[in-house]
Amino acid sequence: MARMPLIAGNWKMYKTEEQSEDYIQALLPRVSSVETVDVAICVPFTDLRAMIDSARGSRVEVYAQNMHHEVEGAYTGEISPPMLSELDARGVVLGHSERRTLFGETDKALALKVPAALEAGLVPILCVGETEAERDNDDTDRKLRQQIKDDLAGVAPERLAEVVIAYEPIWAIGTGRVATAEQAQEAIAFIRALVGDRDKQAAEQLRILYGGSVKPENAAELLALPDVDGALVGGASLEAESFAAIIAAAESAPR
């Protein structure tokens, strides 16, 4: 079965609840006829309930951007998997490079978070990717191999296909410097092969997104690549119009 593309907007720390309401009212009519692409917005915790209520019955799924791996406990300021699933969040972004570099998120933590998300019925979008220095030093494959191995270590083979992976070269995030089609396809095919070393069938089924300066102008080329199953979009997801244009590009991409 063909993999359904997923276009996920990562809002980061943007939009109050009031701003998020304006956004979803602008987005819903623009995606009402979408049939062949899954659409997600990954929103701040404080926007979750409002966005889940407003998007109910539409094609737009609502994800969180982080969570703790424990079900409950003395972890001031943290949010647990059941807290997200009780709200009907569809999933959660895990291991975004901003969380790794600015907030000390480790592969060890991710090895616990990814299975904890699945356990709670949440779809994890696991982000991986190399720095500019790692790419320049031909270290990209090593970095991806290590992240995929460590971060998915706790996921049983029969659940691997439920994970979404986002390949986000760190040098392309928020910089306007998008990976070339060749770089994106090569890295994502490599990640698929790494998953295939664990489980061949899961590797065929699991979706791998590209992220890093995806815009309406470059989306069509990236989304037509054979191993690219969608995009994780930061800046260009903040306006309903440009996000909808990327979703439209995914709808018309040859699969």
Query: Given the rule CB under 6 A, which residues bind ligand PGA?
Result: 10, 168, 173-174, 211-214, 232-236
What number of other Cβ atoms are within 10 A of residue 73's Cβ? 9
Question: Which listed residue (96, 130, 134, 162) is catalytic?
Answer: 96
Shortest spacing between CB 184 and ligand PGA, in angstroms: 13
- Residue 36 or residue 175: which is nearer to ligand PGA going by CB? 175
What number of other Cβ atoms are within 10 A of residue 144's Cβ? 21
Beta-carbon contacts of 172 under 8 Å, excluding residues fewer than 6 positions away, are 178, 179, 211, 212, 213
User: DSSP label at 208?
Assistant: E
Cβ(76)–Cβ(45) below 8 Å:
no
Which stretches of 95-153 are assigned E, i.e. beta strand? 123-128
Shortest spacing between CB 239 and ligand PGA, in angstroms: 12
Shortest spacing between CB 126 and ligand PGA, in angstroms: 12
Residue 153 class from Cβ within 10 Å (0-12 exposed, 13-18 middle, 19+ buried)?
middle
Cβ(216)–Cβ(178) below 8 Å:
no
- Residue 83 or residue 246: which is nearer to ligand PGA going by CB? 246
- Residue 168 or residue 229: which is nearer to ligand PGA going by CB? 168
Supply φ then ψ for residue 108, to 5 degrees: -65, -40
Residue 211 class from Cβ within 10 Å (0-12 exposed, 13-18 middle, 19+ buried)?
buried
- Residue 140 or residue 213: which is nearer to ligand PGA going by CB? 213
- Residue 49 or residue 215: which is nearer to ligand PGA going by CB? 215
Asked if 68 is an active-site residue, the reply is no
Chain residue at closest Cβ approach to ligand PGA: 234
Token pair, residue 125, equals 């979008």
Token pair, residue 66, equals 């982080």
Shortest spacing between CB 72 and ligand PGA, in angstroms: 29
Asked if 96 is an active-site residue, the reply is yes
Shortest spacing between CB 220 and ligand PGA, in angstroms: 16
Which stretches of 36-133 are assigned E, i.e. beta strand? 38-42, 60-64, 91-94, 123-128
- Residue 160 or residue 214: which is nearer to ligand PGA going by CB? 214
Cβ(238)–Cβ(230) below 8 Å:
no
Shortest spacing between CB 127 and ligand PGA, in angstroms: 7
State the DSSP H helix or E strand holding residue 225, giving kind and residue range, or none if neither: none
Which residues are marked as active site?
96, 168
